[in-house]
Amino acid sequence: MEINRKSPASIAPTANTATSRAQAPKAKPLTVRDGFDSQGARPSNFVDRPTGRPSTPGASVPASAFAFGGANVAVKPGANKVADTKPVDPSQPKPKLTGEPVIAVIDGGVDYKHTDLDDAMWTNPGEVEGDGIDNDGNGIADDIHGFNVGTGKGDPFKGEGTDHGTHVAGIIAAEDNGEGNTGIAAGKAKILSVGGLYDGADLLTNFERSVDYLVKMKTEHGVNIRAANASFGDSYRDVASQKRWEAAIQKLADADILLLAATANGNGSNMNNVPDMPANVDLPNVLTVASMDRNNDKLARFSSHGDKVVDLAAVGEDVFSTVPGNDWEEMSGTSMATPTVAATAARMFAENPDLTAVQVRDLILKTVDPDADLKGKVITGGKLNIQAAIDAAKATVEPKPETQQPVASR
């Protein structure tokens, strides 16, 4: 049964499952970098959900959102769709998807050389690193671990927000190697970094470029991209921009890619009537996340909410994870809660690769733990139960028929 995002759902309680946190040494005071500043009475390690560059005043059409093979980011007058994109035709044969689930981190670039992430990164099998040639013919040379929408080039780890993107990636898949933290989906999923989101063009245009890259890589190159993490967002009051956000997310839906989106950090603000993008786009492949406090007892004081637009909450306060330069820090924000849900989705896809984005979303929502503090604040009235969601995915796997043993002759 699909849960309607427009109204609270009745969810049966599930058994409590303790979520372990890495026992890390006390983190040094966080130096907030890349312009994502803490504000007001928030934790000292609070990192606000980035909003990126504002769109050009009066602009109602995208830049040639992703011209594959070039780094031209100029707005083309009259352009009303993304260049070089193809609708997904369900009648055409699709490349076979193999390997671990791939989770795209659309953000500042991920430090793919970090000792806790280097083996967790997706590696493009069709590219030869450093040769400057577009070996796989996708229009981008040397996109070994992803793509940079800000520069239009293959190295995602450039530009603003690399602390933010690297921290998000570590929550999902930091390696179980005895160092720092261990990601929820460690060893079960790979990270594809779409960096440069806060550079070059505005946030919406860069999101469109990100989507086009991911859809192309999945539908034409067989990359097993199952979900995308969007720990960013902003308010868009003009209808044209809202339609562009929805159209881009619909492309993800058509490619069966789940979008995990962070709600705002508005100190308890209600987002029900706010055109918050991409979090408040009402499509069945979108799962919107608020933040619980560090003890997973109540909504974090910095988190927004909305019982018509926010689906559930997950721990997002004092989360210890990777930052660039082989380091780890604690950060707080809905940006940290969202990859916790993305990692859970990754674990579920690993258990049953046949699950669709919508099915995983619905299983996550059906297995939340109801929480009195969340009643009337999020659609489900509940918080993420990681183990219950994974168990629900396991339960969908159809047992293989037993091979009948030959009867021994006498």
Catalytic site positions: 107, 164, 335
The DSSP-derived string for 182-222 is: --TTTTT-EEEEEE-TTSSS-HHHHHHHHHHHHHHHHHHH-
The DSSP-derived string for 234-278 is: EE--SHHHHHHHHHHHHHHHHTT-EEEEE----SS-B-TTS-EET
Q: How many Å separate Cα 52 from the centre of its chain?
A: 16
Nearest C-alpha neighbor of 281 from the set 316, 250, 240:
250
Determine the Cα–Cα distance for residues 170 and 127; give it in Å rounded to an integer.
24
Judge whether 174 and 166 are in contact, CB under 8 Å. Answer: no
Give bridge partners of residue 321 from the DSSP assignment.
Answer: 329
Instruction: For the beta carbon of residue 250, count every other beta carbon within 10 angstroms.
Output: 14
Q: How far lies 257's CA from each of 287, 307, 358, in Å? A: 11, 24, 9
Q: How far lies 166's CA from each of 109, 111, 113, 223, 256, in Å? A: 7, 6, 11, 21, 25
Give bridge partners of residue 147 from the DSSP assignment.
Answer: 194
Tokens at 206, concatenated: 């860069």
Terminal CA-to-CA distance of the chain, rounded, Å?
A: 53
